[in-house]
C-alpha cells in the first residue's frame, strides 16, 4: 500500500473543498480520478463542495442507512450514478507455444454486492453509520475489481466519528437548553460513542494494513467543517 496526498494539490482538488473534509488516499487516487475519470471526478468534487451536514438530518435515529447516506446517494443519482451489483467472471484459456488454444477452463463466477454508486470506471460507497464489517467487504471488492480491470479507482465517503461526536454533543446540549427542563434528554439520538460503525478511523486501520494492493482508493470523511453552521432543530 502506497499512501499519498495528491488531494492537497490545488490543481487536483479545490482548496475550499479540501478544507471541509478529511481525506486519506492510496496510490494517488485523487490525481488518478482527475486524470483518468475526469467526468466522475467533477461529479465527486461538485457534491463534496455543495454538501452541508445538517444537524436536523444528521442527529436522527435511522439505522445503518440514515438520512445523510440517503441524501448523498441521492445527489450522485441526480448526476447519473447508479446503485449496481458488480459480478466477475474469470475464464482460463490454455494455449500452446504456437498460440493455439488447447483447452478452455470453466469460468469461475464471483458474485459481488450492490455498490451504492457506480459510474464509468469508479465505484463509490457511502458508509455513514453501518457496521464496520461493511468496510472489509467494500475494500476487498474494490481491490478485486481493480485487479480485474473493471474500475480505475474507488471512493469511500464516511465520517470522522471522533471529531463529529464533539460537535454533536455540543449541538444537542444547546438544543436541550431550549426545552422545558422536564422534556430534556441528555442522550444523543444516534450512537456516536461506539467504535464498531463505519468511520474514518476504522477505514484507515484497514487501509494501512495494505489490504488495497495497488488499487487507488480515496476516503473522504465529514468533519465539523462540513457542518452547515446551523443549530439542531426537531423535525
C-alpha cell at 155: 471512493
Strand pairing report for 217-222 and 153-159: parallel
Say if 94 falls within a structural domain.
no
Say if 215 falls within a structural domain.
yes
pLDDT in tens, 54-63: 999 999 876 5
pLDDT in tens, 148-193: 999 999 999 999 999 999 999 999 999 999 999 999 999 988 878 7
- Residue 35's domain is classified under what CATH number? 3.40.91
The total of structural domains in the chain comes to 1
Say if 128 falls within a structural domain.
yes
* Host domain of residue 210: 3-82+119-226
- How far CA 94 is from CA of 98, 110, 147, in Å, comes to 11, 21, 20
Amino acid at each position: 500500500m502506497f499512501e499519498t496526498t495528491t488531494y492537497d494539490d490545488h490543481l487536483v482538488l479545490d482548496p475550499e473543498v479540501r478544507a471541509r473534509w478529511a481525506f486519506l488516499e492510496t496510490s494517488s487516487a485523487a490525481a488518478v480520478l482527475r486524470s483518468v475519470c475526469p467526468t466522475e471526478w467533477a461529479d465527486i468534487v461538485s457534491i463534496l463542495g455543495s454538501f452541508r451536514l445538517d444537524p436536523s438530518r444528521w442527529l436522527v435515529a435511522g439505522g445503518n442507512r440514515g438520512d445523510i447516506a440517503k441524501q448523498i446517494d441521492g445527489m450522485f443519482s441526480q448526476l447519473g450514478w447508479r446503485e449496481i451489483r458488480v459480478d466477475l467472471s474469470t475464464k482460463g484459456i490454455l494455449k500452446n507455444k504456437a498460440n493455439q488454444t488447447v483447452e478452455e477452463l470453466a469460468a469461475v463466477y464471483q458474485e459481488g454486492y450492490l455498490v451504492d454508486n457506480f459510474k464509468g470506471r469508479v465505484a463509490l460507497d457511502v458508509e455513514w453509520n453501518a457496521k464496520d464489517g461493511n468496510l472489509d467487504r467494500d475494500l476487498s471488492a474494490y481491490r478485486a475489481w481493480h485487479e480485474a480491470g473493471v474500475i480505475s479507482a474507488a471512493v469511500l465517503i464516511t465520517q470522522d466519528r471522533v471529531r463529529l461526536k464533539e460537535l454533536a454533543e455540543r449541538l444537542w446540549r444547546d438544543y436541550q437548553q431550549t426545552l422545558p427542563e422536564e422534556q430534556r434528554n441528555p442522550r444523543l439520538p444516534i450512537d456516536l460513542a461506539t467504535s464498531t460503525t463505519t468511520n474514518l478511523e476504522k477505514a484507515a486501520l484497514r487501509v494501512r494494513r495494505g489490504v488495497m494492493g495497488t488499487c487507488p482508493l480515496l476516503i473522504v470523511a465529514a468533519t465539523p467543517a462540513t457542518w452547515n453552521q446551523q443549530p439542531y432543530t426537531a423535525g
